């Protein structure tokens, strides 16, 4: 369980989120949505311990994350950044192995267990076929799968992702989100992701946090949060929300006129 | 070819190069005589040449090559920039400044100890300057590189200023030093330098995986449990000290720290855990060959080693690029 207690987040003097409190339940699939620049990624980064609030506290399993050791935190929460740049390309398998870093001994050598876990995760994410290729040679979709695999070998209960599918085609998007859904339902992981695509959020997330104007606009079950009135208010655009005939999940369509 | 086999092969090459380097020079000494004077006693003349003239210099070349190449990997990995080398943070400029002051004001003539001391202090000065500029910020590689460039500029112009008030003689020796040479070295320092650099290089090689993680960017490395800012500071400090030690003894030897890591990447890939020990040993072999050429090619005149390293290394790298792809591409 993650408890966010009255936090204020800022970059320098610019306050991004103010006096925000939130309780995120275990084993949920949470999507953080909102307009550009409303602090989706900022909130996510503070949850994984990358951005210390100037006020307030964040508790994970009743422990203040800014007081626990970084290594302990890395065994509880993993984080997949939006972009990663590689000036020197790594081989896919060794790249995924980097995710085992928090578990490695003093000399940071991989154990047999580490190798086994990496192989399992590679099977799960279907990345085994390009195990020996260079990460810079992969396509966008393949690369995201590899990044996800690296995050998964960290074996944390809470997995945070920053826009995992922002520039992928619909096929790769669904591959990534189906994996996340399976992790959530079958392996009881808590998934927290920022996301721009409201339809993906509607399809896959169980709960949604809608941010607006430095605050939480609404937080609750997906079908409750994704109603046309709130969306229109926050995004300043006319929308139609209806139900996907196959999955019975909400679909948001903007109306341009 | 497994990495273990490759490494063993390189060790053998290093030993062969060592023997060849020990045998080359103006006076002819046979292999048997050399080993005799290395391990047992022999006549005084050979003993002096082998143990007091050639051996310290050969060891220095091995140590300096390993240190520069290894620090080069560290700087490239952590600054996430293929153009980075041990001198990116302005160490060379600072050392040059210290040494040129030493030469110009005649302080280096007072005692053998002052030349390396001034070089070392100058190097520390520039590193300190870069650290101060980045003290309050989160670690940011671009800001580090930029401060390094600033430091280089400031110290280079200071060197020019000092040069403009120097005499011809002083200018010549300072200039030779700037091009990098193992000839100025005093073997009384060898023990300290060799032990320090070797321990430092081994430590850095153990940190290979940490450097891998840091090269993923501070967001990822922090979420993998590393205190990035602090770790980066320690690693930089260590590799800067290694570089400062080497620079204070042999001057600014370019190319090794930049190109040896790249050449090694072509053979073993970019994983720093493997790259760093390989780079170190290839750096040793390379610098040893270059130094041997520099002192034997037109003996007794010495060619500055920096010139040799750049020519050989550059040509070799061009060859490597052409051979791999048929056309030039980095």
Share the mean pLDDT of chain B.
86
Considering only the beta carbons, identify the residue of B80, B210, B271 that sits closest to A90. B271
A·B CB contacts under 8 A:
73
Tell me the average pLDDT across B13-27.
Answer: 89
> In this complex, is the C-beta atom of B271 within 8 Å of any C-beta atom belonging to chain A?
yes
Task: Give how far the C-alpha of residue B330 lies from the chain's centroid of Cα atoms, to the nearest Å.
Answer: 23
> In this complex, is the C-beta atom of A101 within 8 Å of any C-beta atom belonging to chain B?
yes
Q: What pLDDT, in 10s, does the model give residues B153-169?
A: 999 899 889 888 888 87
The token pair at A160 is 């945070």
- In 3-state terms, what secondary structure has residue A6? strand
What is the pLDDT confidence band of residue B58, given thresholds at 50, 70 and 90?
A: very high
Task: Give how far the C-alpha of residue A16 lies from the chain's centroid of Cα atoms, to the nearest Å.
Answer: 19
Residue of A95, A101, A164 to mutate, interface with B, max B Cβ within 10 Å: A101
ipTM of the modeled complex:
0.90
Q: Rounded CA gap, B283 and A225, in Å?
A: 61
- In 3-state terms, what secondary structure has residue A15? strand
Q: Is there a contact between A85 and B270 if contact means CB atoms under 8 Å apart?
A: no
Provide the β-strand partners of residue A91: A134
Q: Is there a contact between A94 and B225 if contact means CB atoms under 8 Å apart?
A: no
The token pair at B135 is 């003290």
Q: Which domain holds residue A152?
A: 2-254
Q: What pLDDT, in 10s, does the model give residues A175-195?
A: 999 999 999 999 999 999 999
The CATH class of B3-325 is: mainly alpha
Q: Rounded CA gap, A144 and A141, in Å?
A: 5
Backbone angles phi, psi at A107, to 5 degrees: -90, 5
Q: Is there a contact between B77 and A99 if contact means CB atoms under 8 Å apart?
A: no
Q: Rounded CA gap, A249 and A181, in Å?
A: 14
Nearest to A183, CA basis, from A210, A206, A162, A166: A206
Residue of B80, B220, B223 to mutate, interface with A, max A Cβ within 10 Å: B223
Considering only the beta carbons, identify the residue of A94, A102, A107 that sits closest to B225. A102
Question: For residue A59, what is the enclosing H or E element?
Answer: strand A55-60
Tell me the average pLDDT across B60-87.
Answer: 92
The token pair at A136 is 């810079």
Q: Rounded CA gap, B148 and A45, in Å?
A: 30
Q: Rounded CA gap, B255 and B314, in Å?
A: 8
Q: What pLDDT, in 10s, does the model give residues B221-280?
A: 999 999 888 899 899 989 999 998 888 888 888 889 999 999 899 889 899 999 999 999
Count CB-CB contacts under 10 A for residue B260. Answer: 31
The residue ranges of chain A whose pLDDT is under 50 are none
> In this complex, is the C-beta atom of A102 within 8 Å of any C-beta atom belonging to chain B?
yes
For residue B330, pLDDT beyond 60: no
For residue B325, pLDDT beyond 70: no
B269: left (phi over 0), alpha (psi -120 to 50) or beta: left
Q: Is there a contact between B220 and A84 if contact means CB atoms under 8 Å apart?
A: yes
For residue B327, pLDDT beyond 50: no
**In chain B, what percentage of residues exceed pLDDT 70?**
96
Count CB-CB contacts under 10 A for residue B6. Answer: 15
Instruction: List CB contacts of B246: < 8 A, sequence separation 6 or more.
Output: B63, B64, B67, B68, B193, B197, B253
Q: What pLDDT, in 10s, does the model give residues A33-66?
A: 999 989 999 999 999 999 999 999 999 988 999 9
The pLDDT of residue B31: 78
The pLDDT of residue B326: 46
A55-60 and A2-11 as β-strands: parallel, antiparallel, unpaired?
A: antiparallel
How many separate domains does chain A show?
1
What is the pLDDT confidence band of residue B324, given thresholds at 50, 70 and 90?
A: low
What residues of B are in contact with residue A94 (Cβ under 8 Å)? 271
> In this complex, is the C-beta atom of A152 within 8 Å of any C-beta atom belonging to chain B?
no
Instruction: List CB contacts of A111: < 8 A, sequence separation 6 or more.
Output: A103, A104, A105
Q: Rounded CA gap, A197 and A195, in Å?
A: 6
Contact B72, B272 (CB under 8 A): no
Q: Is there a contact between B216 and A84 if contact means CB atoms under 8 Å apart?
A: yes
| CATH number where A154 lies | 3.40.50.300
Tell me the average pLDDT across B9-31.
Answer: 88
For residue B94, pLDDT beyond 70: yes
Q: Is there a contact between A154 and B224 if contact means CB atoms under 8 Å apart?
A: yes
Tell me the average pLDDT across B45-54.
Answer: 80
Q: Is there a contact between B223 and A99 if contact means CB atoms under 8 Å apart?
A: no
Nearest to A16, CA basis, from A55, A48, A49: A55
Considering only the beta carbons, identify the residue of B81, B215, B269 that sits closest to A91. B269
The token pair at B129 is 């300057």
Q: Rounded CA gap, B218 and B220, in Å?
A: 6
Kindly report whether the peptide bond that precedes residue B300 is cis, defined as omega within 30 degrees of 0: yes
Q: Rounded CA gap, A140 and A170, in Å?
A: 12
The alpha-carbon gap from B272 to the nearest alpha carbon of chain A, in Å, equals 10
Domain regions of chain B by residue span: 3-325
**In chain B, what percentage of residues exceed pLDDT 90?**
35
For residue B172, pLDDT beyond 70: yes
Write down the pTM of the prediction: 0.89
Q: What pLDDT, in 10s, does the model give residues B187-225?
A: 788 888 899 999 999 999 999 999 999 999 888 999 999
> In this complex, is the C-beta atom of A132 within 8 Å of any C-beta atom belonging to chain B?
no
Considering only the beta carbons, identify the residue of A69, A72, A74 that sits closest to B224. A74
B224: left (phi over 0), alpha (psi -120 to 50) or beta: alpha
Q: What pLDDT, in 10s, does the model give residues B97-109?
A: 988 888 888 777 7
The pLDDT of residue B329: 43
- In 3-state terms, what secondary structure has residue A88? coil
Q: What is the DSSP letter of A133?
A: S
Instruction: List CB contacts of A98: < 8 A, sequence separation 6 or more.
Output: A90, A150, B209, B212, B213, B216, B224
The alpha-carbon gap from B238 to the nearest alpha carbon of chain A, in Å, equals 17
For residue B137, give the chain A residue with the closest CA. Answer: A12
Computed on alpha carbons and rounded to an integer, the radius of gyration of chain B in Å comes to 20
Nearest to A36, CA basis, from A82, A84, A86: A82
A29-34 and A207-212 as β-strands: parallel, antiparallel, unpaired?
A: parallel
């Amino acid at each position: 369980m993650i408890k966010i207690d009255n936090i204020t987040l800022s970059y320098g003097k610019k306050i991004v989120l103010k006096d925000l409190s939130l309780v995120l339940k275990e084993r949920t699939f949470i999507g953080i949505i909102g307009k550009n620049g409303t602090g989706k990624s900022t909130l996510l980064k503070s949850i994984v311990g990358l951005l210390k609030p100037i006020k307030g506290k964040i508790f994970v399993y009743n422990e203040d994350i800014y007081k626990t050791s970084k290594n302990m935190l890395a065994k509880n929460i993993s984080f997949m950044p939006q972009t990663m740049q590689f000036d020197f390309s790594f081989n896919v398998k060794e790249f995924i192995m980097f995710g085992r870093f928090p578990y490695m001994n003093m000399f940071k050598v991989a154990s047999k267990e580490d190798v086994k876990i990496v192989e399992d995760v590679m099977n799960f994410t279907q990345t085994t076929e390009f195990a020996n290729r260079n990460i810079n040679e992969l396509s966008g979709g393949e690369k995201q799968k590899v990044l996800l695999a690296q995050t998964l070998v960290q074996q944390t209960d809470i997995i945070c992702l920053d826009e995992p599918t922002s520039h992928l085609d619909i096929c790769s998007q669904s591959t990534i989100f189906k994996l996340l859904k399976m992790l959530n339902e079958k392996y009881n992981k808590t998934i927290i992701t920022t996301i721009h695509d409201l339809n993906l959020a509607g399809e896959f997330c169980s709960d949604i946090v809608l941010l607006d104007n430095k605050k939480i606009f609404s937080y609750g079950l997906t079908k409750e949060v994704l109603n046309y009135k709130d969306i229109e208010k926050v995004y300043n655009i006319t929308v139609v929300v209806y139900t996907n005939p196959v999955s019975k999940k909400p679909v948001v369509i903007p109306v341009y006129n | 070819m497994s990495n273990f086999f490759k490494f063993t092969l390189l060790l053998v090459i290093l030993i062969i190069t060592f023997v060849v380097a020990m045998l080359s020079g103006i006076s002819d000494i046979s292999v048997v005589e050399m080993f005799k004077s290395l391990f047992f006693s022999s006549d005084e003349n050979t003993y002096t040449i082998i143990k007091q003239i050639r051996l310290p210099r050969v060891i220095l070349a091995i140590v300096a090559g390993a240190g520069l190449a290894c620090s080069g990997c560290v700087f490239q990995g952590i600054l996430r920039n293929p153009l980075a080398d041990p001198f990116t943070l302005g160490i060379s400029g600072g050392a040059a400044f210290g040494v040129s002051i030493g030469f110009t004001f005649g302080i280096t003539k007072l005692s053998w100890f002052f030349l390396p001391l001034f070089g070392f202090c100058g190097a520390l000065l520039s590193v300190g300057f870069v650290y101060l500029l980045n003290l309050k910020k989160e670690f940011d590689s671009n800001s580090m590189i930029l401060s390094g460039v600033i430091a280089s500029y400031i110290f280079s112009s200071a060197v020019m200023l000092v040069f403009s008030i120097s005499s011809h003689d002083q200018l010549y020796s300072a200039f030779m030093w700037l091009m990098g040479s193992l000839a100025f070295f005093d073997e009384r320092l060898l023990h300290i330098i060799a032990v320090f650099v070797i321990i430092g290089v081994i430590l850095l090689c153990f940190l290979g995986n940490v450097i891998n993680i840091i090269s993923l960017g501070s967001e990822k490395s922090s979420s993998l449990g590393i205190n990035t800012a602090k770790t980066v500071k320690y690693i930089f400090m260590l590799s800067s000290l290694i570089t400062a030690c080497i620079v204070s003894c042999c001057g600014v030897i370019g190319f090794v720290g930049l190109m040896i890591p790249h050449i090694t990447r072509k053979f073993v890939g970019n994983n720093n855990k493997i790259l760093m020990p390989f780079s170190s040993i290839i750096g040793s072999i390379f610098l040893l060959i270059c130094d041997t050429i520099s002192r034997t090619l037109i003996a007794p005149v010495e060619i500055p080693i920096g010139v040799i390293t750049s020519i050989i290394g550059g040509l070799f790298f061009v060859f490597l690029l052409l051979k791999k792809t048929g056309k030039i591409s980095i």
